[in-house]
Structures are given as structure tokens and as C-alpha cells.
Amino acid sequence: MDRKFVVPGDFIGTEEEYLPGEGTFVDRERIYSTLTGESSEAARKLAVSQKRPLRALGIGTTIIGRVENIVEPIALVSMQEGLGEARFGGTDEYAVLHASMIRKGFVKNVRDEYKIGDIIRAKIVDLRNGEMRLSTDADNLGAIKAYCGKCRHPMAVESGIIKCEGCGNKDNRKLANDYRKASME
């Protein structure tokens, strides 16, 4: 059997011909994939492996997220799955970024540092009562892509201030040290 790309639920063989291996399940003597990855056969056993396996979310894990809503003094951040080196399963839950965890020093309002739609890199600092709390207070954390609050065009850094590429609006954000250079794939 040749190695081929499969997604969860893809038929990859029968129990009559193969034994089910890691990353597979059997239904009515048919073997299916449970993972996205490559199927392989070794010693008449079918398995599916991933190049970048899913990681569990935990304290200290760095995530890429999108600012979905701001309710002072917090921002609600949705985590983007499958980005960068760390891949996580999809989640409908939001992580919480408190104004005091945005940067070192005093931050009065989240809106002074981030806008809805900004793509940020953050670190999980606390998991309590089903709530995931984030921090962006390190140099490598913060906005990696920001959008204009007026026209929604991408913002570019100009003399330490970010400026809209569309309308010229200037703004302030807590930027990651690799702003607009970071990989989001």
C-alpha cells in the first residue's frame, strides 16, 4: 500500500487484509482514519501518523489568537488551530486577556493596546475554573498582525507607531518584536 494523505473518516482498508493500528478505528470490518496525516502499512498493519501532532493546552503554551471582543478590562481571544509549530484541536471557547497582563507597566484600557480583529501571539499563564488566561507582556508576544480601527486595512510600523496602509490612520498597539514577519501558517 502506498503512503497517502488521509483525513478523519477516510476509508483506508479492511480487517480482512490488515490489522488496525495507531490513528485508526474499525467499523463493520472496515478500517478508517482518526487523524489527518499519512496512512502507512507495516507488517500488514495500517496506521496513520501526523507530521505535527496535536498538543495539549497548558500553562506556558504559546498560542496564536484573534481578538474577538473587548469588554473592559478584558479582551476575549479565540485560538487559531493549526498555526505555527503548535497545533491544537478546535475549541469554541475564548481565552481571556486582562489589561494588567498586556505589557509590563500600567495599562488602563485594553482598547489602548489591541483592537477587535488583531491577530496576537500570547502565552497561557493560568487555567482556572474552566477559564484560560493569557499574557502578552514579553517582547515576543503581542500583535503579529493589526488592522485599522477605521477602514480595516493592515497596519505597518513607521517610526515605532503603526500606520494604516489604506487611510493613513496612526495608532498604538502592543506589538510582538516580529510584527508582520511572524508565520501564521
d(Cα 115, Cα 79) in Å, to the nearest integer? 16
What pTM does this model have?
0.66
d(Cα 153, Cα 135) in Å, to the nearest integer? 26
Query: Are residues 150 and 167 in contact, defined by beta-carbon separation less than 8 angstroms?
Result: yes
d(Cα 63, Cα 163) in Å, to the nearest integer? 25
* 62-171 matches 4-49 in CATH topology: yes
**Class of the domain covering 62-171:** mainly beta
Domain 4-49 has CATH 3.20.20.60: no
Average pLDDT, stretch 103-113?
91
Predicted local confidence at residue 163, as pLDDT: 93
Predicted local confidence at residue 28, as pLDDT: 87
> Between residues 162 and 83, which one has the greater pLDDT?
162
d(Cα 183, Cα 131) in Å, to the nearest integer? 27
CA distances from 128 to 7, 98, 125, 132 (A): 33, 14, 10, 7
Whether residue 2 has pLDDT greater than 80: no
Question: What are the domain boundaries of the chain?
Answer: 4-49, 62-171
Average pLDDT, stretch 63-90?
74
Predicted local confidence at residue 25, as pLDDT: 86
Average pLDDT, stretch 163-175?
91
pLDDT tier at 81, thresholds 50, 70, 90: low
Name every residue whose Cβ is closer than 8 Å to that of residue 159 and which is 6 or more positions away in sequence. none
Beta bridge partners of 37: 6
Whether residue 92 has pLDDT greater than 70: no
pLDDT tier at 185, thresholds 50, 70, 90: very low
Cis peptide before 53 (omega within 30 of 0): no
pLDDT tier at 1, thresholds 50, 70, 90: low
Strands (E), 16-165: 19-20, 24-27, 30-33, 37-42, 45-49, 62-71, 74-79, 94-98, 119-128, 131-135, 142-145, 155-158, 161-164
Whether residue 90 has pLDDT greater than 70: no
Average pLDDT, stretch 139-168?
89
